[in-house]
């Protein structure tokens, strides 16, 4: 049975002046149609790099040094630039944190949408415009005909992000990768965007990879998550199970550190120290200097990601069975 | 002119920014005539509140609500268009720079962006020494150095790194240094403008703990500005909810979260993502957030409120004190409809 | 970590070592500057001393040509001065005027840009209008008027003595607008940053904030345009001298030399124009190449690692 997306032992390195740095070290996960996966981690964990690597948007000095990326059965990392372009923006779309990374400030919305359609399909301009209008309606933009003739700066932040999602939908992709899509938006607008993404996955038959640092958002939108730390997956499994019974000390710490989990006014739980810089990842388990239960083996050997208990839960920790 | 026992009181504060530009920018052609258009951003529209000593007042709201402008107006960075600001019963909004100096020692601010809030060309030592020297001309160099080391220790940054530059520190450490800069003059009142928004979750907890510890040890009064309601729920004693330059509701924290009265507060609370099993139903607000340039008439929220009536369109609601102790600015609540 | 160590491990040095063009330009420039500084020691003749040359030696070709003389390696000019020595002294004058003019330009321009950007409002409009006016006045017109009036008022001899400061002032005053605009743009960006707000919250006066906090952060673009401005100042001076408005023939710069030899190109004494010309081109070229490299290195967007 083939998955929509399968990432196997992905390794990404950065070629810098003092040597090669490993940004992602052996990441593997799968995603099926209509499934929603969350990649969770703090800044520097490597989650955005994973997203970029999947559609080959890594810019120098980053490169994929090992591993496979299988999309609908085909090996993406072996494709030439020409072949990848047929997939990128077509079968797999990406949404970024800042809508202005996608939208060109000097072009009208209609120009940009038509351009995207015509880049991948052969159709007349008026057909492309109809398609654009249809997608704008799908993302609940009020008076879409008016919006088509507007420029990005005439729309609010939330509106822009909806337009970006509409552009992503133009080619009926099978997979959307969303990199912190609502972090820069206000809370009420964020809720709307998340609701929209959830709905679209159902109605458009798409898979969703949501990359974010916000555990609360991920718990409301995704079905399964992988938690990343210093370039590795430390825990993977179903969202519900992980949120309510985290097994890896880092995941436990993250959840405990959220303000909502303790009595108001009390001291928040804090994970001591900070995520290590890519240049100085500790030997053995990358988390051991900050871990409350680390042991001698943690200092020597990096723990493998193995299945524990039930429900496809995987944890990378020597002390969790 | 006398007010309550507030440490800091704001009365009917109004702040508008004129962004019309030069004469040529203002001219436009409308219906065949040349007209002169003035564009004003109405950031604060008659805001009144009082902060009590030793409390932690959380000011929440979304972008454009004026919370940052309020903070800066209180600290004297923006002179108000009208209204008054009192610090311990003394009026401070109409003072000259010289008269303001003693107050500057007592009121400090912590900023949002750890990367822009420290001068990249000054070492940490210089950044921290500056306020110490400025407010105490007779301090010796050695005393200043000792003070710097002491405050760095208190915020959790190794004093040996005082001669380094900001870019050599991480975001969390820079925020600690910002906090140190605010604390080194021994202030009484600290405004924290989104102090943890730009930081990772695990670092947020560290910084929030640091702020809470500092408040307890030094007997500080905080005004915490943030858009993150879960932070405010944990840390603040009272909460003020702002929308487009007006305060909608102000209540003790527990009360606000358990029984919000204003429709905007209710919508805001349901929109916060929570770590829960079920997805909470979000109250969908109508329309978009209007700009502070073209303020709606009457109640600024009427365009998006599901319960607005004719009075809401025409009349601006006043902040009314409820029996519970909360203050709400809503006709519906006043009339008993909501 | 003291300043030297920090420099040694900096990205600037790293990038420099990997760019052969930068290394080449820097080496050539260093050699030229050293030669200029040590001119009195290095040159075979002191060309300002009228006793050392003889009009009878005029227009001697370079040593490898027929009629050349061993004591004049590159030949002589129309007054009988050794061309090589005169060129080196000429380069020295050009460099002096170039650097002096840039110092003056940057001083005026930085102050104008700083006040304009920081205070804003009417002062900003006023200063920017003055900047625009200054920009529109061609420096040639200014130069013609100034030197003509000066020569008239003080005579040619006095003019020769004060030519260098006069040219520094002319070129300096004509070209400060670009510094003003550059600094103003930087100041507008820095002025709203939070560290400036923090300084205001502490109570520090506007003047202290302007000079102690904002100014140091606006200097990177100033450094980048300064190299190009030096090259431009040297070229402006050469142009003025070529037109007869710059350095007098008694204390020639490269431009004056080129001018003096211009009439003789077709009559055979091509070297009088040719060698100073080549030297001027090389000098300006290495400054511009170095400036290009510096601009790329200091560009924060290109900065990696």
Query: Which chain A residue is nearest to residue C11, measuring alpha carbons?
Result: A17
B111 min Cα distance to partner chain C (Å): 7
β-sheet bridge partners, residue C234: none
Is the pLDDT assigned to residue C75 strictly greater than 90?
Answer: no
Is the pLDDT assigned to residue B66 strictly greater than 80?
Answer: yes
In what order do the strands lie in the sheet containing B8-18? B40-51, B8-18, B82-87, B90-91
Note whether A61 contacts C304, CB cutoff 8 Å. Answer: yes
Q: Which chain C residues are Cβ-neighbours of B77 within 8 angstroms?
A: 197, 200-201
Interface test with C, best of A13, A14, A16, A17 (most C CBs within 10 A): A17
Q: Which of B63, B209, B271 is nearest residue A270 as measured by Cβ atoms?
A: B209
C249-300 residue pLDDT tens: 778 888 888 888 887 777 777 788 888 889 999 999 999 998 888 888 877 6
CA-to-CA separations, C5 to B125, B204, C1, C304, in angstroms, rounded: 19, 34, 6, 20
Say if B131 is an interface residue toward chain C (CB within 8 Å). Answer: yes
Q: Which chain A residues are Cβ-neighbours of B285 within 8 angstroms?
A: 188
Q: Which residues contact A153 (CB under 8 A, 6 or more apart)?
A: A105
The arithmetic mean of pLDDT across residues C77-95, rounded, is 84
Query: Which chain C residue is nearest to residue A59, measuring alpha carbons?
Result: C304
Q: Go through C113-152 and write b for each residue having 16 or more CB atoms within 10 A of its CB, e for each that does not.
A: bbbbbbeeeeebeebbeebeebeeeebeeebbebbeebbe
Q: Which chain C residues are Cβ-neighbours of B164 within 8 angstroms?
A: 1
Note whether B230 contacts A259, CB cutoff 8 Å. Answer: yes
Q: Which residues contact A6 (CB under 8 A, 6 or more apart)?
A: A30, A31, A68, A69, A70, A71
C305 min Cα distance to partner chain A (Å): 7
Q: Give the pairing type, strands A5-16 and A62-71.
A: antiparallel
The arithmetic mean of pLDDT across residues B309-333, rounded, is 88
Query: Distance between CA A47 and CA A44 in Å, rounded?
Result: 8
Q: Which chain B residues are Cβ-neighbours of A219 within 8 angstroms?
A: 273-276
Query: Distance between CA B337 and CA B334 in Å, rounded?
Result: 8
Query: Distance between CA B204 and CA B199 in Å, rounded?
Result: 6
Is the pLDDT assigned to residue B277 strictly greater than 60?
Answer: no
**More confidently predicted of B246 and C73:** B246
Confidence of residue B24 (pLDDT cuts 50, 70, 90): low
Mean pLDDT of chain B: 87
What's the predicted TM-score (pTM) here?
0.84
What is the predicted pLDDT for the residue at C301?
57
Note whether A16 contacts C14, CB cutoff 8 Å. Answer: no
Confidence of residue B32 (pLDDT cuts 50, 70, 90): confident
For every residue of B75-138, DSSP letters joined together read TTSS--SEEEEEETTEE-TT--HHHHHHHHHHEEEE-S-TTTSS-TTS-HHHHHHHHHHHH-TT
The arithmetic mean of pLDDT across residues B56-76, rounded, is 90
B214-228 residue pLDDT tens: 999 999 999 999 988
Is the pLDDT assigned to residue C304 strictly greater than 50?
Answer: no
**A281: its two tokens:** 């990842």
Note whether A219 contacts B276, CB cutoff 8 Å. Answer: yes
β-sheet bridge partners, residue A66: A11
What is the predicted pLDDT for the residue at C115?
95
Q: Which residues contact B131 (CB under 8 A, 6 or more apart)?
A: B181, B184, B185, C202
Is the pLDDT assigned to residue B276 strictly greater than 60?
Answer: yes
Confidence of residue A153 (pLDDT cuts 50, 70, 90): confident
Q: Which of C198, C203, C217 is nearest residue B181 as measured by Cβ atoms?
A: C198
What is the predicted pLDDT for the residue at B153?
92
Q: Which chain B residues are Cβ-neighbours of A258 within 8 angstroms?
A: 201, 230, 275
Q: Which of B208, B274, B275 is nearest residue A268 as measured by Cβ atoms?
A: B208
What is the predicted pLDDT for the residue at B290?
75
Say if C205 is an interface residue toward chain B (CB within 8 Å). Answer: yes
What is the predicted pLDDT for the residue at B47?
92
What is the predicted pLDDT for the residue at A44?
81
Which of A63-67, A267-271, B237-241, B304-308 is the most confident on average? B237-241
Q: Which of residues 122-141 of C touch B (CB under 8 A)?
A: 125
C124 min Cα distance to partner chain A (Å): 28
Rounded to a whole number of angstroms, the distance between the first and last alpha carbons of chain B is: 34
What is the predicted pLDDT for the residue at B189?
95
**More confidently predicted of B23 and C91:** C91
Mean pLDDT of chain A: 87
The arithmetic mean of pLDDT across residues A277-281, rounded, is 82
CA-to-CA separations, B141 to B125, B148, B166, C109, C208, in angstroms, rounded: 11, 11, 22, 35, 20
Helical ranges in B156-276 per DSSP H: 171-183, 201-218, 229-235, 253-258, 263-271
Q: Which of residues 9-38 of A touch C (CB under 8 A)?
A: 16-17
Query: Which is nearest to C165 in space by CA: C93, C236, C235, C226?
Result: C93
A219-230 residue pLDDT tens: 888 999 999 999
Note whether A42 contacts B202, CB cutoff 8 Å. Answer: yes
Contact C223, C298 (CB under 8 A): yes
Is the pLDDT assigned to residue B1 strictly greater than 50?
Answer: no
Q: Which chain B residues are Cβ-neighbours of C205 within 8 angstroms?
A: 97
Is the pLDDT assigned to residue A164 strictly greater than 80?
Answer: yes
Q: Is the dihedral of CA C151, C154, C160, C165 positive or negative?
A: negative
**All structural domains of chain C with their residue ranges:** 42-298
- Rounded to 10 deg, the angle between the C219-242 and C254-262 helix axes is 30
Q: Which chain C residues are Cβ-neighbours of A16 within 8 angstroms?
A: 304-305
What is the predicted pLDDT for the residue at A74?
85
Confidence of residue B2 (pLDDT cuts 50, 70, 90): very low
Confidence of residue C156 (pLDDT cuts 50, 70, 90): confident
Continuous segment of H or E residues that includes residue B42: strand B40-51
Note whether B131 contacts C193, CB cutoff 8 Å. Answer: no
Tell me how crowded residue B163 is: count the other CB atoms within 10 A of its CB: 11
Give the three-state DSSP class for C125.
helix
Is the pLDDT assigned to residue C302 strictly greater than 60?
Answer: no
Chains with 3+ CB–CB pairs under 8 A to B are A, C
Q: Hey, what long-range contacts does C24-29 have (CB within 8 A, 24 or more apart)? A: C24/C286, C25/C285, C25/C286, C25/C287, C25/C289, C25/C290, C25/C293, C26/C286, C26/C290, C28/C282, C28/C286, C29/C283, C29/C286, C29/C287, C29/C290
Please work out, in degrees rounded to the nearest 5, the angle formed at the alpha carbon of residue B284 by the alpha carbons of B282 and B289: 125
Percentage of residues in chain B having pLDDT higher than 70:
95
Interface test with C, best of B116, B133, B197 (most C CBs within 10 A): B116
Note whether A16 contacts C305, CB cutoff 8 Å. Answer: yes
What is the predicted pLDDT for the residue at A260?
74
Is the pLDDT assigned to residue C1 strictly greater than 60?
Answer: no
Residue C72 is classified by DSSP as: B
Query: Distance between CA B42 and CA A242 in Å, rounded?
Result: 46
Q: What are phi and psi of C94, to 5 degrees?
A: -60, -45
Q: Which residues contact B186 (CB under 8 A, 6 or more apart)?
A: B105, B218
B104-153 residue pLDDT tens: 999 999 999 888 899 998 999 999 999 999 988 888 889 999 999 999 99
Query: Which is nearest to B173 in space by CA: B199, B146, B197?
Result: B199
Say if A261 is an interface residue toward chain B (CB within 8 Å). Answer: yes
Percentage of residues in chain C having pLDDT higher than 70:
93
Say if B190 is an interface residue toward chain C (CB within 8 Å). Answer: no
Is the pLDDT assigned to residue A138 strictly greater than 80?
Answer: yes
Give the three-state DSSP class for C51.
helix
Confidence of residue C158 (pLDDT cuts 50, 70, 90): confident
Q: Which CATH superfamily is domain C42-298 in?
A: MetI-like (1.10.3720.10)
Confidence of residue B4 (pLDDT cuts 50, 70, 90): low
Q: Which chain B residues are Cβ-neighbours of C128 within 8 angstroms?
A: none
Confidence of residue A312 (pLDDT cuts 50, 70, 90): confident
Query: Distance between CA A78 and CA A87 in Å, rounded?
Result: 13
Tell me what ipTM this predicted complex has.
Answer: 0.85
The arithmetic mean of pLDDT across residues B263-272, rounded, is 88
Confidence of residue C305 (pLDDT cuts 50, 70, 90): very low
The arithmetic mean of pLDDT across residues A32-52, rounded, is 89
Note whether B172 contacts A274, CB cutoff 8 Å. Answer: yes
What is the predicted pLDDT for the residue at C9?
67
């Amino acid at each position: 049975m083939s998955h929509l997306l399968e990432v196997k032992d992905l390794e990404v390195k950065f070629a810098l002046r003092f040597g090669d740095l490993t940004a992602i070290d052996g990441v593997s996960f799968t995603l099926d149609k209509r499934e929603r996966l969350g990649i969770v981690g703090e800044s520097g964990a490597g989650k955005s790099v994973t997203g970029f690597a999947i559609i080959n948007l890594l810019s120098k000095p980053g490169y994929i040094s090992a591993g496979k990326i299988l999309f609908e059965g085909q090996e993406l990392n072996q494709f030439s630039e020409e072949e990848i372009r047929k997939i990128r923006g077509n079968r797999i779309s990406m949404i970024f944190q800042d809508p202005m990374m996608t939208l060109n400030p000097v072009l009208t919305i209609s120009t940009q949408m038509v351009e995207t359609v015509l880049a991948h399909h052969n159709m007349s301009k008026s057909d492309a415009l109809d398609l654009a209008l249809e997608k704008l309606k799908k993302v609940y933009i009020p008076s879409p005909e008016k919006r088509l003739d507007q420029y990005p700066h005439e729309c609010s932040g939330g509106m822009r992000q909806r337009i970006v999602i509409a552009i992503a939908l133009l080619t009926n992709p099978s997979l959307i990768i969303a990199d912190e899509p609502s972090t820069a938006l206000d809370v009420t607008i964020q809720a709307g965007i998340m609701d929209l993404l959830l709905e679209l996955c159902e109605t458009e038959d798409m898979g969703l990879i949501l990359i974010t640092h916000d555990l609360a958002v991920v718990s409301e939108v995704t079905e399964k998550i992988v938690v990343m730390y210093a370039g590795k997956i430390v825990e993977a499994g179903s969202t519900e199970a992980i949120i309510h019974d985290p097994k890896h000390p880092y995941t436990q710490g993250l959840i405990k550190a959220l303000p909502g989990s303790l009595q108001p006014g009390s001291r928040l739980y804090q994970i001591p120290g900070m995520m290590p810089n890519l240049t100085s990842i500790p030997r053995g388990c990358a988390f051991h200097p900050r871990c409350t239960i680390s042991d001698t083996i943690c200092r020597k050997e990096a723990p493998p990601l193995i299945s524990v208990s039930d429900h496809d839960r995987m944890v990378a920790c020597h002390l969790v069975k | 002119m006398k007010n309550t026992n507030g440490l800091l009181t704001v009365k009917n504060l109004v702040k508008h920014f004129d962004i019309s530009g030069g004469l040529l920018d203002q001219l436009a052609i409308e219906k065949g005539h040349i007209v002169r258009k003035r564009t004003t951003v109405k950031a604060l529209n008659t805001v009144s509140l009082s902060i009590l000593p030793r409390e932690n007042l959380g000011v929440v709201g979304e972008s454009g609500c004026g919370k940052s402008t309020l903070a800066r107006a209180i600290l004297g960075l923006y002179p108000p268009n009208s209204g008054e600001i009192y610090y311990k019963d003394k009026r401070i909004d109409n003072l000259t720079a010289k008269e303001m100096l003693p107050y500057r020692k007592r009121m400090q601010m912590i900023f949002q962006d750890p990367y822009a809030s420290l001068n990249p060309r000054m070492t940490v030592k210089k950044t921290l020494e500056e306020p110490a020297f400025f407010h105490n001309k007779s301090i010796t160099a050695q005393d200043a150095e000792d003070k710097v080391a002491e405050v760095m220790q208190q915020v959790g940054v190794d004093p040996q790194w005082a001669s380094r530059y900001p870019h050599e520190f991480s975001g969390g450490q820079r925020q600690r240094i910002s906090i140190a800069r605010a604390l080194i003059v021994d202030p009484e009142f600290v405004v924290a403008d989104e102090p943890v928004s730009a930081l990772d979750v695990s670092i947020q907890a560290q910084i929030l703990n640091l702020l809470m510890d500092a408040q307890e040890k030094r007997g500080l009064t905080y005004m915490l500005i943030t858009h993150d309601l879960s932070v405010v729920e944990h840390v603040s004693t009272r909460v003020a909810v702002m929308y487009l330059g007006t305060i909608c509701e102000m209540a003790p924290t527990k009360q606000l979260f358990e029984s919000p009265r204003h429709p905007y507060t209710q919508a805001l609370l349901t929109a916060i993502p929570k770590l829960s099993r079920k997805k909470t139903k979000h109250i969908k607000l109508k329309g978009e957030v209007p700009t502070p340039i073209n303020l709606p008439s009457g109640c600024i929220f009427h365009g998006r409120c599901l319960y607005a009536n004719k009075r809401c369109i025409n009349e601006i609601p006043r902040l009314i004190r409820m029996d519970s102790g909360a203050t709400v600015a809503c006709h519906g609540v006043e009339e008993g409809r909501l | 970590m003291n300043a030297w160590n920090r420099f040694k491990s900096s990205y600037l040095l790293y990038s420099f070592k990997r760019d052969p063009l930068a290394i080449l330009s820097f080496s050539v420039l260093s050699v030229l500057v050293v030669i200029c500084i040590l001119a009195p020691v290095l040159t075979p003749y002191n060309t300002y001393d009228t006793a050392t040359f003889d009009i009878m030696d005029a227009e001697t070709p370079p040593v490898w040509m027929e009629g050349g003389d061993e004591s004049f390696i590159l030949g002589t000019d129309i007054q009988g001065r050794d061309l090589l020595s005169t060129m080196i002294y000429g380069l020295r004058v050009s460099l002096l005027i170039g650097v002096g003019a840039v110092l003056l330009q940057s001083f005026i321009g930085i102050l104008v840009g700083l006040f304009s950007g920081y205070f804003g409002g009417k002062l900003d409009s006023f200063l920017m209008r003055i900047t625009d006016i200054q920009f529109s006045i061609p420096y040639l017109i200014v130069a013609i008027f100034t030197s003509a009036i000066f020569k008239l008022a003080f005579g040619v001899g006095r003019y020769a003595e004060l030519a260098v400061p006069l040219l520094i002032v002319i070129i300096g005053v004509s070209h400060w607008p670009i510094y003003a605009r550059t600094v103003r743009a930087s100041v507008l960006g820095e002025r709203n940053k939070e560290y400036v707000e923090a300084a205001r919250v502490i109570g520090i006066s506007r003047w202290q904030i302007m000079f102690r906090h904002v100014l140091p952060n606006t200097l990177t673009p100033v450094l980048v345009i300064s190299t190009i401005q030096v090259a431009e100042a040297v070229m402006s001076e050469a142009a003025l001298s070529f037109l007869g408005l710059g350095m007098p023939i008694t204390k020639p710069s490269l431009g004056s030399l080129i001018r003096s030899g211009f009439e003789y190109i077709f009559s055979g004494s091509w070297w009088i124009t040719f060698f100073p010309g080549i030297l001027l081109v090389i000098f300006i070229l290495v400054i511009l190449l170095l400036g290009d490299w510096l601009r790329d290195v200091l560009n924060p967007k290109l900065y990696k690692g």
